[in-house]
Amino acid sequence: MNPHRPQAWDDPMATPANLDAFIPREDFSAESAQPTPFDEPKEVGLFELKHSLSSLLRKPDFQRETAAWEPERIKEFIKSFAEGDLIPSVIFWGNPKTGKIFVVDGAHRISALLASIAIP
């Protein structure tokens, strides 16, 4: 692999992509000076994910780093999502004290979606 060439999404020899920065880590018990009201969403689209929820999303400290998926897997996941395939549920927990929404299960899926819409 050429170290001067950016890593391509379709490079089969690519190392796992680090998506950890898309959802900040936070302790469940963290306090907030300005709590945000939490409305429990039942269904979330990409627009709500990017514009309404992304600033509230947090990853619990105990959850593993979001860096296990290779670019090809991310690409296939995004393609499946775009084609309307069934995507496994994501488990959220809303902290009533802070209004933050913790991604208890599904951080790789949410981070991959955020990465796909973060690029103009």
pLDDT of residue 12: 53
pLDDT of residue 39: 59
Pairing of strands 101-105, 91-94: antiparallel
pLDDT of residue 2: 40
pLDDT along the chain (120 residues), means of 10: 44 71 79 59 72 84 83 91 88 84 90 78
Domains of the chain: 43-118 (3.90.1530)
The DSSP annotation for 89-116 comes to --EEEE-TTT--EEEEE-HHHHHHHHHH
pLDDT of residue 1: 41
Nearest to 9 by CA among 86, 112, 120, 105: 112
pLDDT of residue 46: 78
pTM above the 0.75 mark?
A: no
Beta-carbon contacts of 65 under 8 Å, excluding residues fewer than 6 positions away, are: 18, 20
Could you give the strand order of the β-sheet that contains 91-94, starting from the edge strand earlier in sequence? 25-26, 57-60, 101-105, 91-94
